[in-house]
Amino acid sequence: MKIFSAEQIRKCDLDTIQNEPVLSIDLMERAAKSCVDWLLRNTDDDPSFFIFCGNGNNGGDGFAMARMLYQCGFDVNVFIDKDQKKCSKNAEINLNKVKDISGIGVFGFNEVKEFQFGAKSVIIDALFGTGLNRKLEGKSAEIVQFLNQLSFPKISIDIPSGLFADQIFEEGSAVFKADETLSFQFWKKTFLHPETGIFCGKINVLDIGLSQKFIEKEPSQKWVVDKSIIKGIFTPRNDFSHKGIFGKTTIAAGSFGKMGAAVLATKSALKSGSGLTFTLAPKCGYEILQTTCPEAMFLYGGENYISHFEVEEDSFIGIGPGLGTDPETEIAYLEFLKNYRKPLVLDADALNIVSKNSEYLKLIPKNSIITPHPKEFARLFGKTQNSFERLELAQQKSAELGIYIVLKDHHTQIITPENHVFYNITGNSGMAKGGSGDVLLGIITSLLAQNYSPKNAAIFGVWLHGKAGDLAAEIHSKEAVLPSDLVEELGNAFKILE
C-alpha cells in the first residue's frame, strides 16, 4: 500500500469528487458511515458516544457520525467550540443536521469539565484531520489535554488530533492519545514512527472508495508492506525441483560463549528454504552446531574465533551473529570485504567492526543488505535527533553506498538505493529480545540464496520474521516468546501465503 502525504491525500479526495463523480458532502457521508460500521462491529455493551468536533472537515465527519449513531439507537453527545464563528461548508451542513435532532446534546468545550461521563462512555476525536499544519494551542490544546486524562476508550477519526500526517510535532505539543485510529484509505507516515505512532493505538484502515485510478498512477517513495506486496514477491516451490535450485547459504557466525547466535541464524536459514546450508564457525562450536543443526554443514573458521573467511564462490553469505570483535576476526573480516564482490547480509559485530572507520563502509559490496538496530545505525552513520531524521540519513547512505538498509524498529523500514522506503507492519514487542536479529539474518541470507533479489529478500525476510513473531505471540504471549519460537513458526508463516 502506498503512503501518501497530506497533500497527496487531498488531491486523491478531489480526484474522486471530480471523476467518480461524487459530491464532497456525499464523500463525507461515506467516510462517516465507514467509521460507524466499524464502531458497530467493535463496541459492546450499549456504549454512549461523546464526539469532540472541530470546525473543519474532520469535525464534519464527527457530526455525520453523531447523526448516524443516534439513528442506530445510541446515546450521543457532541462537543464543539461555540466561540468558533465559522465551520467548513460541509461541516456546517452536518452540524445543522445534528442541531435539528433533539435527542443529541450539543455542548461547548467549556462545559466538558463539569460533564458527567457514564461508565460505558466512548470518546471520539474528530477535532483535526490531516490538514493540520501547526501545533494545537488555546482551547484546542486544553480540550485534548483534558481528554487524555480520561480513562474511557478513545478513538480518533483519520488521525489523532495534534499529529501531522508527514512529520514529527514540536516537543511539548498537545496530541490526542487514541486507543484506536480509524484512518481513511491510507496509512500515514506518522503512524509508523515510534515518537508519533505511540499516540495512534491500533491502526484500522477503512476503505472509503477513493479513486483507485489516482492511487495507481500517483507516485510514492514510501509503502506499507501489505499482503499484496508479499504475494507479489513470494515464489512457491515447483514440484519438479531439487536442492540445487534453492541455493547455498553460508552463515559466518559465533565465537566462544556466543554459539547460540550461530545456531539461531543457521536454523532460520534452514527453515526459510535454503537448499544447502553451511555454517562457518570456530572449532569451539563444532559439537554444538552438529548437534543442534544436523542439516547444516560445518566449516572450520578458527579455534575460539573466526580467523579466516573461506567460503564457496556460489554461496550467499550472512555475517555477524555472535561473531565477536577479536583482532584476528577483525583483520580476516576486513580482508574478506576487500576481495568479495557479491551481495552480503551483515548484522551485529559485522557492522560493529565496520563502524570503527568510515572508510570501511566503502568495502561493503554493492547491493548488500545491512540490518542495524538504532544504536548500531548511530555507530555506523552518526547520531540523529529522532527516527524521522534517522530515516532521512538512512536514505542518504543507502544511495551513497548502493546498499539496502533494514532499519530495525517497531515498524522496521527497508530502504533501497533508489530512496524507496518499505515499512513493515508485522511483528510485536515480544520480539524485542537478544537473538531475534540473528534469526532475521538467517532468513534474509537464505532468501538471497534462493534467487530473490536483495530488495525482495529484505522486504520478504522482514515480513516473514515479523509474521512468525506474531504467530509465536499468539501461542506463548509476547512476554514468553523466544527467538527460537520465531524459527519454529516460520513454516506457519509460509502457509499463510499458500
The letter for the amino acid at 378 is A
Q: Are residues 462 and 396 in the same domain?
A: yes
Omega within 30 of 0 (cis) for the link into 21: yes
Range of the domain at 390: 230-497
The letter for the amino acid at 300 is Y
Looking at the domain assignment, is residue 380 inside a domain? yes
Cell 542495524: give the residue: 372
Q: Are residues 239 and 327 in the same domain?
A: yes
Q: Are residues 15 and 70 in the same domain?
A: yes
Would the pLDDT of 188 be above 90? yes
3-state secondary structure of 106: strand
Q: Are residues 176 and 286 in the same domain?
A: no
Q: How many CA atoms are closer than 13 Å to the CA of 123, on its beta-carbon side?
A: 24
Q: Are residues 157 and 280 in the same domain?
A: no
Looking at the domain assignment, is residue 62 inside a domain? yes
CA distance 30 to 5: 21
Cell 516468546: give the residue: 481
State the average pLDDT for the chain. 96
CA distance 414 to 405: 6
Choose one of 164, 198, 220: the last residue of a domain.
Answer: 220
Quick: pLDDT tens for 246-256: 889 999 999 99
Cell of 412: 522496521
Would the pLDDT of 76 be above 80? yes
DSSP 403: -
Edge to edge, the sheet with strand 180-184 lists 105-108, 75-80, 48-53, 121-126, 154-157, 180-184, 202-206
Quick: pLDDT tens for 121-179: 999 999 999 988 889 999 999 999 999 999 999 999 999 999 999 999 998 899 999 99
> What does residue 298 show for φ and ψ, rounded to 5 degrees?
-90, 135
Classify residue 288 by burial, with Cβ atoms within 10 Å: 0-12, 13-18, 19+.
middle
Q: Supply the angle between the helices 483-497 and 436-449 in degrees, to the nearest 10.
A: 40
Q: Domain of 56: which CATH number?
A: 3.40.50.10260
Q: Are residues 255 and 342 in the same domain?
A: yes
The whole-number average pLDDT for the span 11-26 is 96
Query: What percent of the chain lies above the pLDDT cut of 90?
Result: 92
CA distance 99 to 94: 9
The whole-number average pLDDT for the span 262-271 is 98
CA distance 286 to 30: 63
The residue among 122, 125, 58, 129 whose CA lies nearest residue 94 is 58
Choose one of 185, 220, 255: the last residue of a domain.
Answer: 220
Would the pLDDT of 350 be above 90? yes
Domain total for the chain?
A: 2
* pLDDT recorded at residue 158: 98
> What does residue 309 show for φ and ψ, rounded to 5 degrees?
-115, 85
* pLDDT recorded at residue 244: 76
Q: Are residues 213 and 322 in the same domain?
A: no
Q: Are residues 246 and 198 in the same domain?
A: no
* pLDDT recorded at residue 312: 85
Q: Are residues 126 and 247 in the same domain?
A: no
The whole-number average pLDDT for the span 76-100 is 93
Give the number of other CB atoms < 10 A from CB of residue 33: 15
Q: Are residues 245 and 177 in the same domain?
A: no
> In sequence order, which residues have a C-beta less than 8 Å from that of residue 360 and are 6 or more positions away?
334, 337, 353, 354
* pLDDT recorded at residue 5: 96
Gyration radius (Cα) of the chain, Å: 26
Instruction: Return left, alpha or beta for 75; rule: phi > 0 is left, psi -120 to 50 is alpha, else beta.
Output: beta
The whole-number average pLDDT for the span 189-207 is 98
Q: Are 63 and 92 in contact (CB under 8 A)?
A: no
CA distance 491 to 485: 11
The whole-number average pLDDT for the span 420-446 is 97
Quick: pLDDT tens for 22-51: 999 999 999 999 999 999 999 988 999 999
* pLDDT recorded at residue 431: 97
Q: Supply the DSSP string of 144-166, one letter for each residue.
A: HHHHHH--S-EEEESS-TT--SS
Q: Are residues 188 and 245 in the same domain?
A: no
* pLDDT recorded at residue 240: 81
Looking at the domain assignment, is residue 361 inside a domain? yes
DSSP 2: B
Would the pLDDT of 85 be above 80? no
At residue 86 the predicted structure's pLDDT band, cuts being 50, 70 and 90, is confident
Number of H helices, E strands in the chain: 17, 17
CA distance 297 to 175: 54
The whole-number average pLDDT for the span 216-227 is 97
At residue 218 the predicted structure's pLDDT band, cuts being 50, 70 and 90, is very high
Q: How far is CA 17 from CA 27, 130, 307, in A?
A: 8, 18, 65
Q: How far is CA 48 from CA 112, 124, 177, 285, 458, in A?
A: 15, 11, 19, 62, 46
Output the CA torsion sign for 123, 127, 128, 129.
Answer: positive
Cell 458516544: give the residue: 49
CA distance 64 to 79: 13
Specify the higher pLDDT residue, 459 or 244. 459
* pLDDT recorded at residue 423: 98
Q: Are 315 and 248 in contact (CB under 8 A)?
A: yes
3-state secondary structure of 75: strand
Q: How many CA atoms are closer than 13 Å to the CA of 33, on its beta-carbon side?
A: 9
Q: Are 340 and 312 in contact (CB under 8 A)?
A: no
Quick: pLDDT tens for 90-128: 999 999 999 999 999 999 999 999 888 999 999 999 999
* pLDDT recorded at residue 224: 98
**Residues written for the chain:** 498
Would the pLDDT of 393 be above 80? yes
Q: Are residues 205 and 312 in the same domain?
A: no
DSSP 303: S
Would the pLDDT of 355 be above 90? yes
> What does residue 243 show for φ and ψ, rounded to 5 degrees?
-60, -30
* pLDDT recorded at residue 243: 79
DSSP 238: P
Choose one of 202, 220, 238: the last residue of a domain.
Answer: 220
Looking at the domain assignment, is residue 1 inside a domain? no
* pLDDT recorded at residue 498: 83
* pLDDT recorded at residue 44: 84
